[in-house]
Amino acid sequence: MSNHGAEPGQAGLRVLVVEDEFLIADYLVAVLEDAGHRIAGTAATAEEALAILGSGQAVDVVSLDVKLPGGLDGIDVAEWLRATAGPPFLFVTGSGDPAFRARCEAVQPLAILQKPIDPDRLLRVLAGVAAG
């Protein structure tokens, strides 16, 4: 894996990774930590993500898989984040369905990243969050 290290003096963000596929979650965590970000937690379901977000734990940004097992999906979490003025979020999806993409865009994410993840694009999105 290439070194995607943070710039000198750049503080790492606390990122919540919401992803139900273990290998993808593990990859995202590795990319983020390699770049100097901290993992605020990982969640495999929307319910786990909402529990972490509702716990008062500090989270600067959320990486949300769109399709999650259970009754809620990543868009439900995004809607909750918008309604509660929670941290900014980006979507990670493997879906190419235009109607589904329109539903994602409606909640105004920072970005919609297509799987397989381009780590450089992910880190550029996070750099924008860190810059304010």
Task: Quote the pLDDT of residue 22.
Answer: 96
Task: Quote the pLDDT of residue 82.
Answer: 96
Give the 3-state secondary structure of residue 120.
Answer: helix
**Mean pLDDT (whole number) for 66-95:** 94
> 7 falls in which pLDDT band (50, 70, 90)?
very low
Q: Does 2 have pLDDT greater than 60?
A: no
Look at phi and psi of residue 73 and say left if phi exceeds 0, alpha if psi is from -120 to 50, else beta. beta
What does the mean pLDDT of the chain come to?
90
Task: Quote the pLDDT of residue 100.
Answer: 83
Q: Does 6 have pLDDT greater than 60?
A: no
Q: Of the candidates 19, 108, 28, which has an alpha carbon nearest to the alpha carbon of residue 66?
A: 19
Residue 101 or residue 37, greater confidence: 37
Which segments within the chain are labelled E, that is strand?
14-18, 38-43, 61-65, 89-93, 112-114
Task: Quote the pLDDT of residue 9.
Answer: 39
Q: Of the candidates 66, 129, 73, which has an alpha carbon nearest to the alpha carbon of residue 101?
A: 66
Cβ atoms of residues 20 and 44 within 8 Å: yes
* CATH classification number, 14-131, choose in 3.50.50.60, 3.40.50.2300, 3.10.20.30, 3.30.420.40: 3.40.50.2300
What tens digit of pLDDT does each residue of 8-25 get? 335 699 999 999 999 999
